[in-house]
Amino acid sequence: MSKSIDCQSKAVSGDVVIVGAGFAGLSAAERLVSTGLSVLVVEGRDRVGGRSLSGEVAGVDVDFGATWVAERHTAVRDLMARLGCSTTRQFDEGVNVLWMAGQRHTWTGTLPMVGPVDLADLARVQPALENLLESIDVDAAWKSPNAGELDSISFGEWLDRQQAATSTRALMAIVSKVQWGCSPADVSLLHVLRYIQAVGGLDHMLAVDGGQQQDRVTETTQEIAKRLAAALEDRVVLDARVRRICHDETGVTVYTDAAVIRARYAIVTAAPEHRAHIEFQPALPEMFEGLSRTFPMGALSKAFVAYETPFWRNDGLSGEAVTDTGPVFITFDVSPDGGPGILMAFCAPGCYDGLSPATRRNLVVKQLVDLYGAQAGNPIDYVDHCWGTESSAPGGPHPAAAPNASVRYGDALTRPHGRIHWAGTETAGEWVGTMNGAILTGVRAAEQVAALLSVESESST
């Protein structure tokens, strides 16, 4: 078998075809190539990186998708070191702003609470959530003790049962919007617990210093993917959406718009919902269809607003804000050293994506004026990105698994079917939902397939 696949011709063949050129697919390819196998990565979009995408505002590169790496994200940090990428500390000096129920407050720490009553309620609800985390098996949450019970209700119903105060609910709604791209009523409690436990608990999930938001990638996260793809040379093919995969005991035949690829194994890294956009012949067992149906992608949008300087720092503000009013619900300061001031705003797609670009910009700037004062009304540039409106593989950051979905269909995340193996961040145990998790799953699937190919070649000699 040749070391690389010639994709100039319409019909090509090799050892492994990988669907998707995000962190999972590219990492799987890198591992397989290192073992001497022939690989082709087919990507439906016209770019690599998947949910990592760079944009530009005021001449500065920004992350429309994945942004931060934690200290403990060692897989992504190892990859960055090999590819010459570096980190920049997330700016978090000063006090944060909370805009809740029409009132502006300032706060410090990880979780935004201001009054003693609110703090007391959070101090009651957060440990209750953390108690539940202890029993979660992050590698197979649906097999944890009490999994059936935990999966039978939504996160919102659980908050109801706790009689959580309005302030605690508002905070958890923001966590839900930013993590699963949905409201607490739309996501299973078990799914929420799985994601929180897999990233080291609620504090680690939400913290800047020592937490998941500690560092940004100086060159942008998509640049890591671009460098990894460049090293894979012509093994990565863009604009090649996979429409159909035929499979039998001898191999797989993958049909894209550009080519038909025959390989011995396939690794599919598309998110669960997007797996269903591929026609499998013969059809996959019902559990795989159920998974795609009940793990719909959430949606999230991001806006970047640039100013001559990060003026809020002069007022002792960190640029971090949480708000319950309007499309913007969180902001962060992502200004480069010595450059313009840039605020990154997470926006709720339901009241944002359908508006005209000018209206979106006006709404965001108006909210920033509420949060940071009149100077925020004079931006020098603006850009945004709505993940839910992407034409290919839309949505993100993560699926919002419905109640009862994980217990019924969770096994289908990772269970290979014949010669089809699965990777992608949704299939991760530890670090599910992160670039780090995606890399680990790509490597895992590559090693599984390489071991099977090795056994096959031994038995054929």
Ligand X SMILES: Cc1cc2nc3c(=O)[nH]c(=O)nc-3n(C[C@H](O)[C@H](O)[C@H](O)COP(=O)(O)OP(=O)(O)OC[C@H]3O[C@@H](n4cnc5c(N)ncnc54)[C@H](O)[C@@H]3O)c2cc1C
Does 425 participate in binding ligand X (rule CB under 6 A)? yes
- Residue of 54, 68, 193, 228 interacting with ligand X (CB under 6 A): 68
Does 429 participate in binding ligand X (rule CB under 6 A)? no
- Residue of 302, 419, 421, 444 interacting with ligand X (CB under 6 A): 302
Q: What's the CA gap between 437 and 92, in Å, rounded?
A: 25
Q: Which is nearer to ligand X, 406 or 441 (by Cβ)?
A: 441
Write the binding mask 223 to 242 for ligand X: x where contact by CB under 6 A, - elsewhere: ------------------xx
Nearest-CB residue to ligand X?
50
In 3D space, the residue among 296, 272, 276 whose CA is nearest the CA of residue 415 turns out to be 272
Q: Which is nearer to ligand X, 211 or 403 (by Cβ)?
A: 211
Two structure tokens written together for 193: 């617990």
Does 167 participate in binding ligand X (rule CB under 6 A)? no
Does 433 participate in binding ligand X (rule CB under 6 A)? yes
Q: What's the CA gap between 57 and 385, in Å, rounded?
A: 12
Q: Where are the beta strands (DSSP E) in 139-235?
A: 215-217
- Residue of 5, 18, 42, 232 interacting with ligand X (CB under 6 A): 42
Other CB atoms within a 10 A radius of the CB of residue 340 amount to: 18
Q: Which is nearer to ligand X, 50 or 165 (by Cβ)?
A: 50
Does 44 participate in binding ligand X (rule CB under 6 A)? yes
Where in 339-398 is the site for ligand X (CB under 6 A)?
Answer: 387, 392-393, 396-397
Does 421 participate in binding ligand X (rule CB under 6 A)? no
Minimum CB separation of residue 216 from ligand X in Å reads 8
Q: Are the beta carbons of 184 and 160 closer than 8 angstroms?
A: no
Write the binding mask 247 to 276 for ligand X: x where contact by CB under 6 A, - elsewhere: ----------------------xxx--x--
Minimum CB separation of residue 389 from ligand X in Å reads 12
Strand order in the sheet with 103-107: 103-107, 95-100, 317-323, 328-333, 341-347, 301-307, 381-386
Q: What's the CA gap between 447 and 230, in Å, rounded?
A: 22
Minimum CB separation of residue 238 from ligand X in Å reads 9
Minimum CB separation of residue 55 from ligand X in Å reads 11
Minimum CB separation of residue 439 from ligand X in Å reads 8
> In this structure, what DSSP letter does residue 188 have?
B
- Residue of 424, 446, 450, 453 interacting with ligand X (CB under 6 A): 424
Alpha-helical segments (H) within 1-133: 23-34, 74-83, 116-133
Does 278 participate in binding ligand X (rule CB under 6 A)? yes
> In this structure, what DSSP letter does residue 234 have?
G
Handedness of CA 75, 234, 247, 294 (dihedral sign): positive
Q: 225 to each of 7, 204, 346, 405, 444, how far by Cα in Å? A: 21, 25, 23, 31, 18
DSSP annotation string for 96-135: EEEEETTEEEEE-SSS---SHHHHHHHHHHHHHHHHHHTT
Does 299 participate in binding ligand X (rule CB under 6 A)? no
Does 329 participate in binding ligand X (rule CB under 6 A)? no
Binding site for ligand X (CB under 6 A): 19-25, 42-45, 50-52, 65-68, 241-242, 269-271, 274, 277-278, 300, 302, 387, 392-393, 396-397, 424-425, 433-436, 438
